[in-house]
Amino acid sequence: MGAVELGISAGMKPEGPLLSVRGLTRFYGARIGCADVSFDLWPGEVMGIVGESGSGKSTLLSCLAGHLVPDAGEVILATGAGPRDVLAMSEAERRRLSRGDWAFVHQNPRDGLRMGVSAGGNVGERLMAVGARHYGDIRARATDWLERVEIAAERIDDRPSAFSGGMQQRLQIARSLVTGPRLVFMDEPTGGLDVSVQARLLDLLRGLVREMGLSAIIVTHDLAVVRLLADRLMVMKSGRVVEQGLTDQVLDDPQHGYTQLLVSSVLQV
């Protein structure tokens, strides 16, 4: 789909999709979590998933990231050794992936950070998890990343509990991106932040995503977020994808009744 001509995948070989999802289904007992979700994510592409509470967005994201085991479907990831089904990998391989090749940004920074460990330690943890054993290097990279997410370098030894909500979220992003992942999952990255902080965070995220050529899947219920960040959009309702397409196309010319409702219920200030 229209990812190649977006021109953001510089340096990546757009030979095939980075992630292709086929028929992903997860039930909670008799209830549907998400059903029969299929899509392709191309290198450098940002995909938004929107929908109301309970529409299965977070379930889908958790299944993709390996936090939940889906009942059916496959998630094929393009790796150096060819396409691999993430769900068929051993847990060790999957966790190695989640330490290096992809990252997960939680809605609540407290879920993604170690609150008892300094900011530098939080950023450094992922480096140490993939084998960095040189203190000076780890610290230099942590300092660099704190600056990239606009946290003053002298706060490197402060604990996240001494940070504001917006700083914690930026710290979580620094921690996720420090190992240079190819794919980032974000669950409501701006939820719980006030509007001005949201705007700065979005600005920062947009810069980082474009600069690093990241692929990202962003779950949100905030249409402004996807308008700013996402190339492509998927609208979910009751566990099913009701509409997908280019972001501007879906938002400006919604076809499905639910999407029309969603777009029209955004408050205009």
Partner 1 sequence: MTGPGYNFAYLDEGTKRMIRRAILKGIAVPGYQVPFSAREMPMPYGWGTGGVQVTAACLLPEDRLKVIDQGADDTTNAVSIRRFFERTAHVATTTSTTAATVIQTRHRIPEHPLREGQILVFQVPIPEPLRFLEPRETETRRMHSLEEYGLMHVKLYEDIARHGTIATSYAYPVRVEGRYVMDPSPIPKFDNPRLSDCAAIQLFGAGREQRIYALPPHTQVVSLDFEDHPFDPGKAPHDCDLCGAVDSYLDEVITDDRGGRMFVCSDTDHCTCRRAAGHSGRLAAPLPAGRA
- Name every residue whose Cβ is closer than 8 Å to that of residue 182 and which is 6 or more positions away in sequence: 18, 43, 101, 102, 214, 215
Alpha-carbon distance of 137 to 128, in angstroms, equals 11
**Chain position carrying tokens 């940070």:** 163
The span of 73-81, 124-132, 163-171, 260-268 binding partner 1 (CB under 8 A) equals: 124-132
Q: Which is nearer to partner 1, 159 or 221 (CB)?
A: 159
Note whether 7 binds partner 1 by CB under 8 A.
no
For residue 190, which of 204, 175, 179 has the smallest C-alpha distance? Answer: 204
Cα dihedral 208, 209, 211, 215 sign: positive
Note whether 121 binds partner 1 by CB under 8 A.
yes
Q: Which is nearer to partner 1, 151 or 209 (CB)?
A: 151
The span of 17-25, 114-122, 198-206, 211-219 binding partner 1 (CB under 8 A) equals: 114-122
Total residues in contact with partner 1, by rule CB under 8 A: 25
Amino acid of residue 249:
Q
Note whether 91 binds partner 1 by CB under 8 A.
yes
Query: Which pair of tokens denotes residue 187?
Result: 């669950």
Contact with partner 1 (CB under 8 A) among 8, 35, 47, 156: 156
- Are the beta carbons of 74 and 21 closer than 8 angstroms? yes
Note whether 152 binds partner 1 by CB under 8 A.
no
Order of strands across the sheet that contains 232-237? 102-105, 183-187, 215-219, 46-50, 232-237, 240-246
- Residues numbered 167-226 forming contacts with partner 1, rule: CB under 8 A: none
- Name every residue whose Cβ is closer than 8 Å to that of residue 55 and which is 6 or more positions away in sequence: 236, 237, 238, 239
The span of 4-12, 39-47, 123-131, 217-225 binding partner 1 (CB under 8 A) equals: 123-131
**β-sheet bridge partners, residue 232:** 47, 246
Q: Which is nearer to partner 1, 96 or 200 (CB)?
A: 96
Note whether 10 binds partner 1 by CB under 8 A.
no
Note whether 69 binds partner 1 by CB under 8 A.
no
Contact with partner 1 (CB under 8 A) among 17, 73, 120, 254: 120
Shortest approach of partner 1 to residue 21 CB, angstroms?
25
Positions in the binding site for partner 1 (CB under 8 A):
91-92, 95, 99, 114, 116-118, 120-121, 124-126, 128-131, 133-136, 138-139, 156-157
